[in-house]
């Protein structure tokens, strides 16, 4: 059927090859064409289909033009699509970048053009006209070259002859008239079928789904095809511990993209050492099994000894048509085989308790506060050689610890999670994506320093919404707003100057976030949720500086009071509040009297410690001070250094709230080889919020469990702190 169609089409043409009238028989050309391979046929037809755009002053041109649409309809010309399957022109236009880039195929060759976004469309039109003319001139020149004589014998000669078109007797194609190229009309058609003015800026004219016409060819423009800029997998492949994909998408959304996890059988053992992550092992794969289509994946026992690969296909939903637009997929292969994870049975009693506590009831609420030990602190030479010398190096690495503490946190299934010592990069790449996938919304606040470390608070997105914006309490300067606190630092004594210097250089911040329970509007009409205010902080850590921590806490209480007055008006004291964090203060420190009693007098013994405190300016000085303190007990140190006279820095301080301590039965929250003590706390205040005693307290770890490996961190404890977990009863309405 194709043969008859082609003979009829070419039979209409009178192909004059010379002015003298020598003819190339159309029937002869058709027979030669049909002997060729499909690829050769397709190439020849594409060549013929371009002739109507080239202005030879020959009578056959007009006839050929009339048959162009039929040629385009031949199945062999699958590349020349029409209608919804038009060939495409890809436009990449990123806001903020000066240039845009276009990519399309002209005369069978891929062409790329770069234009300034703010330039007029006229510049792009002119550029495309030049490209089209140059390429079609090349096509024409190639199409009328005399075939070379084929030398040799046998199959090689036969194959070469098949790729050429034989010349009929008497044909003379040595001299052809010079081509006369017609002007090529290049223009852009908008979604309403109107021609876009060439005065329009490129970034506005080259829009998604607009049509670009280049002579007789029409291209459908696709703007900003989804891309994968980067793809990696965070964590070590251990059974039971979730792996997190770290991807950077451009012009794509996570919900419209597709993840595929594969279990690989590689024909060589996976290396034990780190390095080469993401290597290409495509040629080494014996088998590949699809095991998950989720963004993150938790290895199982079936994966042990196998490598894992993730494939990400970026996508987005077109706003106008609702169609899915996808880009090129990227893959990442883990360089280590999956292995068994650590024994976490010591945590089981806590998780079992959390599973039994019914959080579906609106009145139930679970809070977690956890110092996760920043990698900046865990892997310094000083920390490795002194603080954590008992801990295996593998268990100090953040790639190991992050999986363990994230798995632990998610097992608690808390509504509110407050974290301290959070590295910003780890938050962006691992913690926030993992928590978001588990249904949490997070807020990160960096300390007042160039070091990217701070606090993060998460809340369940289906349970709470945030009212307003989070408040950041800068505790390095907030004390200056209070006259009493300001007077403590304004004296000329060395103690006052040390206090001032410590506060300014402390880098301490606190988060204040107001949450409101989401109410089912269909079943709870007329009912309004009561807000709960959550504050998360990490106070100054020097053990000789209780007065610094007290001033920081007093500054935070002032900010909470101001916030609650705006929030609750005359009833501001009744607003439910939760205060979490690493206070670096043992229970006997006067900071806790300040919170629970609302007041500290100027004669408290802890004011006297301020006389021996010195704000050490460098890490080297702080480390030297740590060694000095190890040689004697704190009591002996104070007895030898503190003068018995009245402290130079002291004051009577008050705060308006009545704070109640949760997690009272915890024997320790911090445990290393040199110290085991309580320094982390959850406090609650206001009306309608209390510890829920219906199931008892969340089981605490015993000191024997904490010191099974001398101290923390260890294989099953990823930080030198433990997580505080408390169940609360909340009257939310």
Is residue 722 within 8 A of residue 728, CB to CB? The reply is no
DSSP 3-state percent helix, strand, coil across the chain (nearest 5): 30, 25, 40
How far is Cα 447 from Cα 454, in angstroms, rounded to an integer?
5
Q: Which of 56-65, 424-433, 494-503, 589-598 has the lowest mean pLDDT?
A: 56-65
Q: How confident is the model at residue 383 (pLDDT cuts 50, 70, 90)?
A: very high
Answer yes or no: is 167 within a domain. Answer: yes
Bridge partners for 726 per DSSP: 367
Q: What are phi and psi of 515, to 5 degrees?
A: -110, 150
CA distance 71 to 542: 84
Q: C-alpha distances in angstroms, 355 versus 410, 643, 724?
A: 12, 54, 16
Greater pLDDT, 362 or 489? 489
From the list 176, 239, 126, the residue with the least C-alpha distance to 24 is: 176
Residues 696 and 591 in one domain: yes
What is the rounded distance in angstroms from the CA atom of residue 150 to the CA atom of residue 619? 82
Among residues 333, 359, 376, which one ends one of the domains?
Answer: 333
The CATH number assigned to the domain holding 284 equals 2.60.40.2700
What Å distances lie between residue 201 and 96, 100, 196, 197, CA to CA? Answer: 15, 11, 10, 9
Does 340 fall in a domain?
no
Render pLDDT for 532-575 as a digit per residue (tens, 0 to 9). Answer: 999 999 999 998 899 999 999 999 999 999 999 999 999 999 99
Instruction: Judge if 369 and 317 occupy the same domain.
Output: no
Q: Does residue 450 surpass a pLDDT of 60?
A: yes
User: Which of 132-141, 147-156, 613-622 is the least confident region?
Assistant: 147-156
Extract the tokens encoding 501. Answer: 């210097």
Q: Which domain holds residue 284?
A: 227-333
- Read off the pLDDT band of 54 (50, 70, 90): very low
Same structural domain, 673 and 571? yes
Q: Residue 696 falls within a domain, yes or no?
A: yes
If you average pLDDT over every residue of the chain, what do you get? 82
**For range 678-704, the mean pLDDT:** 92
User: Do 84 and 204 share a domain, yes or no?
Assistant: yes
Q: What is the pLDDT, as a whole number, of residue 694?
A: 81
pLDDT digits (tens, 9 = 90+) for 415-424: 999 999 999 9
Q: Do the domain assignments include residue 464?
A: yes
Residues 506 and 533 in one domain: yes
CA 707 to chain centre: 37
Query: Which residues sit opposite 91 in a β-bridge?
Result: 102, 223
Question: Where does the pLDDT of residue 46 fall: very low under 50, low under 70, confident under 90, or very high at 90 and above?
Answer: very low
Q: Are residues 216 and 248 in the same domain?
A: no
DSSP H helices in 453-589: 483-489, 494-505, 546-568
CATH number at residue 452: 3.60.10.10
Residues 176, 280 share a domain: no
DSSP conformational letter for 383: I
pLDDT at 617: 61
pLDDT number for residue 151: 57
Reported pTM: 0.76
87 burial via Cβ count (<10 Å: 0-12, 13-18, 19+): middle
In this prediction, residue 613 carries a pLDDT of 80
Helix (H, G, I), strand (E, B) or coil at 459: strand
Distance CA 712, CA 387 (A): 10
More confident residue, 157 or 129: 129
Give me the pLDDT at residue 524, please: 52
Confidence of residue 148 (pLDDT cuts 50, 70, 90): low
Q: Is 338 contained in some domain?
A: no
pLDDT number for residue 261? 98
Residues 277-309 pLDDT 10s: 555 676 788 889 999 999 999 999 999 999 999
Tell me: the pLDDT tens digits for 88-111?
999 999 999 999 999 999 988 899
Q: Are 359 and 445 within one domain?
A: yes
Q: Tell me the three state secondary structure of residue 192.
A: coil
What are the DSSP calls for 219-283, one per residue?
Answer: EEEEES--EEEEEEEES--BTTS-BEEEEEEES--TTTSEEEEEEEEESSPPPSSS--TT---GG
In a shared domain, residues 211 and 234 = no
Return the bridge partners of 569, or none.
none
3-state secondary structure of 23: strand
Question: Is residue 628's pLDDT more than 70?
Answer: no
Mean pLDDT across 347-376: 91
Residue 125 has pLDDT above 60, yes or no: yes
> pLDDT exceeding 90 applies to what percent of the chain?
63
Is 396 in the same domain as 450? Answer: yes
Tell me how many domains the chain contains: 3
For residues 329 and 414, membership in a common domain is answered with no
Confidence check: pLDDT of 487 > 60: yes
Q: Over the stretch 523-533, which tens digit does the pLDDT of each residue have? A: 455 456 789 99
Residue 339 domain-assigned (yes or no): no
- pLDDT classification of 503: cutoffs 50, 70, 90: very high
Dist. CA 569–CA 229, nearest whole Å: 50
3-state secondary structure of 87: coil
Pairing of strands 109-116, 99-106: antiparallel
Regarding whether 608 and 624 lie in a shared domain, the answer is yes
Q: What is the DSSP letter of 535?
A: E
In this prediction, residue 646 has a pLDDT band, given cuts at 50, 70 and 90, of low
Domain boundary among 308, 333, 358: 333
Q: Map residue 671 onto helix, strand or coil.
A: strand
Mean pLDDT within 115-139: 92
Average pLDDT over residues 48-71: 35
**Per-residue pLDDT band at 43 (split at 50, 70, 90):** very low
Q: Cis (ω within 30 of 0) for the bond into 424?
A: no
Count other Cβ atoms within 10 Å, centred on residue 150: 14
pLDDT of res. 516: 94
Q: Cβ neighbours of residue 164 under 8 Å, at least 6 residues apart?
A: 147, 148, 150
- Residue 697's nearest CA partner among 667, 652, 656, 730 is 667
Q: Among residues 275, 300, 333, which one ends one of the domains?
A: 333
């Amino acid at each position: 059927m194709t043969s008859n169609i082609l003979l009829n089409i070419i039979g209409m043409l009178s192909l004059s090859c010379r002015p003298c009238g020598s003819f190339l028989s159309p029937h002869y050309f058709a027979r030669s064409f049909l002997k060729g391979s499909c690829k050769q046929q397709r190439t020849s037809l594409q060549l013929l289909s371009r002739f109507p755009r080239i202005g030879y002053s020959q009578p056959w041109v007009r006839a050929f033009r009339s048959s162009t649409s039929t040629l385009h309809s031949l199945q062999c010309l699958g590349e020349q699509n029409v209608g919804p399957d038009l060939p495409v022109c890809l436009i990449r236009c990123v806001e903020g970048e000066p240039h845009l880039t276009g990519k399309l195929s002209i005369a069978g060759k891929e062409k790329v053009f770069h234009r300034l976004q703010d330039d007029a469309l006229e510049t792009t039109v002119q550029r495309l006209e030049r490209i089209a003319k140059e390429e079609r001139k090349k096509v024409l020149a190639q199409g009328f070259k005399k075939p070379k004589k084929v030398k040799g014998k046998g199959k090689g000669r036969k194959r070469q002859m098949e790729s050429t078109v034989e010349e009929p007797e008497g044909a003379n194609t040595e001299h052809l008239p010079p081509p006369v190229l017609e002007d090529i009309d290049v223009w852009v058609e908008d979604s309403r079928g109107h021609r876009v003015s060439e005065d329009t800026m490129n970034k506005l004219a080259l829009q998604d789904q607009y049509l670009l016409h280049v002579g007789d060819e029409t291209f459908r423009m696709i703007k900003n095809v989804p891309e994968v800029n980067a793809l990696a997998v965070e964590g070590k492949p251990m059974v039971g511990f979730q792996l997190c994909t770290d991807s950077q998408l451009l012009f794509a959304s996570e919900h419209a993209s597709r993840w595929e996890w594969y279990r690989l059988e590689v024909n060589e053992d996976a290396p034990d050492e780190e390095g080469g992550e993401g290597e290409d092992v495509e040629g080494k794969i014996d088998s590949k099994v699809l095991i998950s289509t989720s963004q993150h994946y938790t290895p199982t026992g079936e994966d042990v000894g196998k490598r894992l690969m993730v494939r990400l296909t970026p996508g987005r939903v077109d706003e106008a048509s609702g169609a899915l637009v996808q880009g090129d997929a990227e893959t990442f292969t883990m360089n280590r085989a999956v292995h068994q994870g650590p024994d976490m049975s010591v945590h089981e009693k806590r998780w079992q308790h959390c599973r039994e506590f019914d959080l579906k009831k609106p009145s139930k609420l679970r809070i977690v506060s956890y110092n996760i030990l920043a990698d900046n602190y865990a892997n310094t030479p000083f920390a490795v050689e002194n603080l954590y010398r008992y801990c295996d190096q593998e268990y100090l690495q953040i790639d190991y610890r992050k999986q363990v503490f994230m798995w632990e946190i998610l097992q608690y299934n808390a509504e509110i999670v407050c974290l301290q010592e959070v590295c910003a990069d780890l938050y962006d790449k691992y913690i926030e994506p993992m928590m978001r996938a588990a249904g949490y919304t997070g807020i990160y606040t960096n300390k007042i320093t160039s070091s990217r470390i701070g606090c993060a608070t998460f809340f369940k997105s289906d349970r709470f919404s945030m009212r307003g914006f989070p408040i950041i309490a800068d505790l390095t300067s907030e004390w200056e707003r209070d006259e009493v606190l300001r007077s403590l630092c304004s004296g000329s004594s060395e103690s006052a100057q040390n206090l001032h210097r410590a506060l300014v250089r402390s880098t301490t911040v606190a988060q204040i976030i107001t949450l409101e329970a989401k109410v089912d509007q269909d079943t709870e009409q007329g009912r309004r949720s009561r807000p709960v205010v959550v504050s998360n902080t990490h106070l100054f850590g020097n053990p000789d500086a209780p007065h610094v921590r007290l001033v920081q806490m007093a500054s935070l209480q002032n900010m909470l009071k101001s916030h609650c007055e705006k929030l609750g008006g005359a009833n501001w004291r009744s607003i439910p509040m939760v205060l979490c964090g690493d206070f670096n203060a043992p229970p006997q420190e006067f900071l806790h009297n300040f919170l629970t009693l609302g007041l500290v007098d100027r004669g408290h013994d802890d004011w006297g410690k301020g006389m021996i405190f010195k704000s050490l300016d460098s890490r080297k000085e702080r480390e030297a001070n740590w060694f000095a303190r190890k040689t004697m007990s704190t009591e002996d140190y104070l007895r030898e250094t503190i003068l018995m006279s009245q402290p130079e820095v002291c004051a009577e301080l008050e705060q308006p709230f009545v704070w109640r301590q949760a997690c009272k039965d915890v024997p320790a929250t911090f445990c290393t080889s040199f110290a085991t003590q309580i320094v982390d706390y959850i406090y609650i205040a206001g009306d309608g919020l209390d510890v829920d005693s219906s199931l008892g307290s969340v089981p605490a770890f015993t000191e024997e469990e904490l010191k099974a490996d001398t101290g923390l961190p260890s294989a099953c404890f990823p930080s030198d702190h433990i997580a505080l977990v408390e169940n609360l009863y909340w009257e939310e309405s």
